[in-house]
Structure 1
Amino acid sequence: MRIFFAAGLLAATLTAHAADLSRLDADVPAQMKKSGIPSVSIALIENGKITTVRTWGEQSAGVPATNETQYNIASLTKPISAEVVLRLASEGKLDLDEPMYTAWVDPDLANDERHKLLTPRIALSHRTGFPNWRGKAGLKFTLGAPGAQYGYSGEGMQYVANFAERKAGATLDKLGQQLVFAPAGMANTRYIEPAELLPRIAKPHDAAGKELEPTLAGKANAADLVYTTAADYARFMLDVINDKGLTPQIAAQRSAIQTDRKAEICKGKLEAACPQTIGFGLGWEVFNFPGATILMHTGRDPGLWTLAFIDRSTRSGAVYLTNSEKGHEAVFAMLEHINANPDFLNFLRAH
């Protein structure tokens, strides 16, 4: 349950109302102070439009955070990388079900014939058989053959990115700029942080409140370490809501469950409140409730916690960025003033 659930907290689908903003401006900072969270930045989407961007606190000691502050979004990088692959597929430059070994084989897997089973679809839905990250012994199918079972994996995202680079003849950094960032107007987002943006970075803080040095990517990482603003990520989410750059067929597959996790998750006290279906689509976790399909992803690195979600039925959503390992503790200070899907909230409360 790692991907959608951290420290017992999850966000819910929402529609923001202007009347709630005064409560947000009071309650989020109050919870930040209580939990020792240096800063929080959010962007809210309602009916297909960004309605609110708010940032509270300090990006580093004595430096106020603003709507232009850059946050490491951790695993919220993965939906961006998935979108690159989906847009390449929509352009006919790759196929989601083609074997990836024809263009890319990780050297660690060259002598394991199971690498021939890997496809982009399997990687984007976390069924590669890889661990989250390779160990000292290299990359191995520690969870079994590709396609056999769910296993959340940053390595899987890196693998499909290596494949996409070779199929498209360009680096992931360039593909992200060409296919996602520039079309969405994400002027403050790159896979590799430009030097001029470094003074705007929100420095991470551990659970004790100690300020840490940020980790920067020297090379594009498909699974982690993209830096962006809440407003920029919301622009990306709008393009997802609008299925920009995708064929109707591929857009539908992104929101369709590829890896069913209901039997794994919906047990015990969760069973009564569980969604009709739950699992991974292509790059996002998917929750299906009566009349509502919700896409969601979370992120966590040392010193930070992030979350983004989309309600496809209401064309609404939010991105929530923090620079604290305790960032999840202020999520409900935001959610309490937002009109959330009741079925989804019931599911969250059951945890």
Structure 2
Amino acid sequence: MFKSIVSVCLCLVSLVSIGQDKPLLGNDAQIEQWLKANSIPTLGLGVIKHGQLQQVRVFGELERGNAAPFNTIFNVASLAKPITAMVTLTLVSKGEWQLDEPLFTYWTDPDVAADPRSKLLTTRHILSHQSGFPNWRYMNESNTLDFKFSPGTQYQYSGEGMEYLRKALENKFGKSLNALANDLIFTSLAMTDTQYVFNSQIDPARVVQGYDTQGKAYETIKHQTANAADDLLTSVADYGKFLVSVLAGAGLSDSVYQDMISHQVASTKGKHFGLGFEIYDLADGEYALSHGGSDYGAQTIVFILPKSKEGLIIFTNVDEGYKVYEALLLHYLGKKGEQIMQIEMSE
């Protein structure tokens, strides 16, 4: 399955409303009507203001006939990547990992072991999507991993890169990525509903069902091995805690934080990737850090604005959940949301 923030963001231009330019999002009954008109079974919303998570709302059903609770757990697909990035950057800030150290010291994938470019690959390349890898190796006819270009020379969004980093981290520290994330992020932030794997800490009775565009439910896959790039399980409240910590630079040194928010490479539509987040340059010196997730039965996206300390979390559980992004951006982020949309609709 193709998991790419690019595919998510390109879909931001699609909005189906209920006969008005901007749906009224303050009335629960109207929101439920609007979601039904857009075939969105479940919507999770988180609103950050003044650097704090001020609002969490969940609408719709957990599964047919069963209302979704406030603490519904979503598969947020590629929103796993910013968590992996922050685990890594926290280790860098602690002096236990190096951004620019070649990763072959800790891991080399057998598919690229004979390629000298494997000796050049660093954490910075991976977190800024300059690894040279395809998004997923199965997209190659050979079904093997390869370099499409030399690391650090151009942009190519890659889940494979994040998985490569996971294996290097796990080899050095002798712990799973899930354990590292619990040690460095989840426990300290009281993210009790967040895991990379479907383990005993995940309440199956609160995990939302995913759907295709015809309303057919996908099977809920209970992953037992962490994927650094995909399939994170979390709630709106938990991911909101995480984003608030990112806004505050929690656990990061000043230099690492500046690396995270700096343009590392041009991506698309005038945007850039930093380390772990895509960067939108807005008016008056403002900028947004963003990431999305796209998977079968999951469309998710987040934005945080470090200068104004605002943010927005959107979780949906259907293939075309992106249809509601624009209206929510405009409603909750106002002129900044308009600027984000202008960037997405540019050539």
- TM-score, reference length from structure 2: 0.89
Residue 303 of structure 1 and its aligned partner are, at CA, apart by 1.3
* Paired letter, 2:93: S
- Stretches of structure 2 that go unaligned for 5 or more consecutive residues are 16-22
Residue identity opposite 2:219 in structure 1: E
Aligned-residue offset at 1:183: 1.4
Residues in 2 aligned to 1:175 and 1:99: alpha-carbon distance in whole angstroms: 21
1:273 corresponds in structure 2 to none
Distance in 2 of aligned mates of 1:9 and 1:74: 20
Q: How does 1:254-293 map to 2 (within 5 A)?
A: 254-261=260-267, 264-266=268-270, 278-289=271-282, 290-293=284-287
- Partner of 1:197 in structure 2? 203
- Whether the 8 Å CA contact 1:216–1:225 is kept in 2: the answer is no
2:169 to 146, 164, 167: 164
Residue in 1 that maps onto 2:185 = 180
* CA distance 1:102–1:24, shift in 2 (3 Å): farther
Aligned to 2:19: none
Query: Could you give the per-residue CA deviations for residues 278-304 of structure 1, whole angstroms, max 9, x where no partner exists?
Result: 210001001122320210001010112
Q: How does 1:1-351 map to 2 (within 5 A)?
A: 2=6, 5-9=9-13, 23=26, 25-135=28-138, 137-195=142-200, 197-261=203-267, 264-266=268-270, 278-289=271-282, 290-340=284-334, 341=336, 342-350=338-346
TM normalised by structure 1 equals: 0.88
Summarize the Cα distance change of 1:89–1:24 in structure 2 as closer, same or farther, 3 Å threshold: farther
Question: Structure 1 regions of 5+ residues with no counterpart?
Answer: 12-19, 267-277
Cα gap change, 1:22 to 1:297, in 2 (>3 Å): closer
Q: CA deviation at 1:62?
A: 1.1
Q: Quote the residue 1:269 is aligned against.
A: none
SS at match of 2:228: coil
Question: Given that residues 191 and 225 in structure 1 are in contact (C-alpha distance below 8 angstroms), is that contact kept between their aligned partners in structure 2?
Answer: yes
Supply the distance in 1 between the matched residues of 2:70 and 2:24 (Cα, whole angstroms). 16
Equivalent position SS for 2:203: helix
Distance 1:144 1:349, change over 3 A: closer
In the TM superposition, what is the alpha-carbon distance from 1:25 to its structure 2 partner? 2.6
Q: Is the 8 A contact 1:83 1:283 kept in 2?
A: yes
The residue matched to 1:300 in structure 2 has which SS?
Answer: strand
State the alpha-carbon separation in 2 of the partners of residues 291 and 107 from structure 1.
Answer: 45
CA distance in 2, matches of 1:10, 1:42: 19
CA RMSD of aligned residues (A): 2.1
Change in Cα spacing, 1:116 to 1:54, as seen in structure 2 (3 Å) is same
Counterpart-to-counterpart distance in 1, 2:159 and 2:333? 33
Which residue identity lines up with residue 114 of structure 1 in the other structure? R
Structure 2: distance between partners of 1:93 and 1:9: 42
Judged with a 3 Å threshold, the aligned counterparts in structure 2 of structure 1 residues 171 and 65 are, in CA distance, closer, same or farther, namely: same
Q: Say if 1:205 and 1:323, in contact at 8 Å, map to a contact too.
A: yes
Q: How many residues align?
A: 330
SS at match of 2:129: coil
More moved, 120-129 vs 207-216: 207-216
